[in-house]
Amino acid sequence: MTNPSSSAVARSAAPSLAAASAAIAQAARLLLPDLECGRCIDASILRTAMEAAFGASDVAGAWDWKTAYDACEAATVLFLRKYGKVLLRKAGSPAAALPMLAKIAGLLPPKRVAPRRARRSSNSRPRSRLASRSPPRRPSPRPIGFWNPRRAPACSPSSPRSPAVRSC
Per residue in 60-73, pLDDT (tens digit) is 888 998 999 999 99
116 within domain boundaries: no
Tell me the whole-structure pTM to 2 decimals: 0.56
Give me the domain span that covers residue 47.
Answer: 13-109
147 within domain boundaries: no
| pLDDT for 6 | 46
Count of domains for the chain: 1
142 within domain boundaries: no
Amino acid at the residue 11: R
The answer to whether residue 1 scores a pLDDT higher than 50 is no
Radius of gyration of the chain (CA): 32
* Residues 117-142, mean pLDDT to the nearest whole number: 59
7 within domain boundaries: no
75 within domain boundaries: yes
Q: Could you read off the pLDDT of 18-52 as tens digits, one per residue?
A: 888 999 999 999 999 999 998 999 989 999 999 99
* Cα–Cα dist 90/76, whole Å: 19
CB-based contacts of 48: which residues, under 8 Å, 6+ apart?
A: none
